[in-house]
Amino acid sequence: MPELDIALKVNGRAVKWRVEPGETLLEALHAHYLRGTKLICGTGDCCGCGAILDGNSINACCMLAAQADGRELLTIEGLTEDGKLHPIQEAFAEEGAAQCGFCTPGFIMRAYAFLREHPRPTEAEVRAALAGNICRCTGYVKPVAAVLRAAEMMRVDREEVSHE
């Protein structure tokens, strides 16, 4: 099969990837050692492969890598800066929101997209935002609490920045 070259930005870095026409974005990520985005259902029904494409949260399992050409992608690997956890990651760790952890990157990426638009969410809004993310371990109590806590932490961060 003829391969094709795509150019995109992944976690802030410009990359050129050679992909196959039938390769999903998720498969391309895995092929490039970005394994944090998990394959869980492969049919777009669990949001476990959530990533941020041009600012929107998407499922990497049900789009072609070729469709990401020219776009900007953020994955779970891109959230940590200089080894420092992002507040959402910090909140998930602190609240015990990750049990087996396999769904966790998908939850965190979805929360990331959501909190950018809703810095002061209610619990009901958080639940609605996470409605497509399947978790089999937590009953969602702690992931929802973690997103609410992350919102708080991120507000504090922003206020600190604005006071500087």
Partner 1 sequence: MNSEYYEPGSGNITDAAHQYTRQIGRTRVVGQKARRVDARPLVTGAPVYAAEFEQPHMLHARILHSPHAHANIQRIDSSRALALPGVHAVLTYEDVPRVAHSTAGQPYPESSPYDAYLLDKRVRYAGDWVAFVAAESPAIAEEALQLIEVEYEILPAIFDPLEAMRDGAPQLHEMDSTHPNSGKHFGDIYDAAHNIAAHEEIAHGDFSAAMREADLVVEGEYRVPYISHAVLEPHVCVAYLDGYERLIVVSSTQVPYHTRRQLAAVLQWPISRIRVVKPRVGGGFGSKQEMLLEPVAAALALKTRRPVRIEYSRQEEFTAARFRHPMIIRMRSGVRRDGTLLAISMHSIGNAGAYGTHSFTVTRSTGHKSLCLYRAKAYYFRADAAYTNLPITGAMRGYGAPQGFFALESHIDEIARRLGMDPLEFRRKNHVQKGDLDPMEMELVDGAWRSKRQFRSCGLPQCLERGAEAFGWEQPFERGDGKPIRRGRGMATAMQGSGVASFELGGASIKLNEDGSFNVMTGATDIGQGSDTILAQIAAEALGVGMEKIVMHSVDTDTSVFDYGSYASSTTYISGGGVKIAAERVRKQVLEVAGDMLDCAPEDMSIVDGVIYSPRGPSNLTVADIANETLYGKHRQQIMAKGDFWTDDSPAPFFAQFAEVEVDTETGQVRVTKAVNVLDLGKAINPALATGQVEGAVSMALGYALSEEVKFDEQGRVRNAGFVDYKVMSTLDMPQMTTILVEDTEYTGPFGAKSAGEVPTNGMAPAVANAIEDALGIRIRSLPITPEKILQALGKL
Partner 2 sequence: MLKIAAYHSPTTLAEAATLLAEEGRTVIAGGTDLLVNPRYMVGVREVVDIRRLELNFIVEEQGWLRIGAGATMRTVAQHARVQGLANGILARSAAVCGSPNIRNMATLAGNVASALPSADTPPALLALNAQVILVGIQGERLIPLDSFFVGPARSVREREIIRELRIPLASSDGLRGGFYKIGRTAEDISMVNAAATLKIKDGRIMAARLVLGAVAPIPLRVVQAEEALMGQPATEETFQRVSEIVRDEVRPISDQRASAAYRRSMSGIAATRALRQAAGLAPHGEEWRHA
Binding residues (CB under 8 A) for partner 2: these are 1-2, 4, 20-24, 27, 42-45, 47, 50, 53, 56-59, 61-64, 66-67, 69, 110, 114, 128-129, 131-133
- For 122-148, the DSSP string reads -HHHHHHHTTT---SSSTTHHHHHHHH
Task: From 8-16, 43-51, 66-74, 156-164, give the range in contact with partner 1 by CB under 8 A.
Answer: 43-51
Q: How far is CA 137 from CA 7, 10, 28, 110, 142, in A?
A: 37, 30, 28, 18, 10
Task: From 5-13, 64-72, 100-108, 113-121, give the range in contact with partner 1 by CB under 8 A.
Answer: 100-108
Q: Which residues contact 126 (CB under 8 A, 6 or more apart)?
A: 111, 114, 144, 147, 148
| Closest residue by Cα to residue 36 from 102, 82, 96 | 102
Q: Is 125 in the site for partner 1 (CB under 8 A)?
A: no
Q: Which residues contact 128 (CB under 8 A, 6 or more apart)?
A: none
Q: Is 137 in the site for partner 1 (CB under 8 A)?
A: yes
The answer to whether residues 109 and 57 touch, using CB atoms and an 8 Å cutoff, is yes
Q: Is 113 in the site for partner 1 (CB under 8 A)?
A: no
Q: Please state, in angstroms and rounded to a whole number, the distance separating the CA atoms of residues 80 and 34.
A: 13
The answer to whether residues 74 and 52 touch, using CB atoms and an 8 Å cutoff, is yes
Task: From 3-11, 52-60, 133-141, 153-161, give the range in contact with partner 1 by CB under 8 A.
Answer: 133-141
5 to 24: interface string for partner 1, x by CB under 8 A = --------------------
**Partner from partner 2, partner 1, none binding residue 135, C-beta < 5-8 Å depending on class:** partner 1
Report the interface residues with partner 1, using CB under 8 A.
35-43, 45-46, 48, 75-77, 79-80, 85, 89-90, 92-96, 98-105, 108, 126-128, 130-144
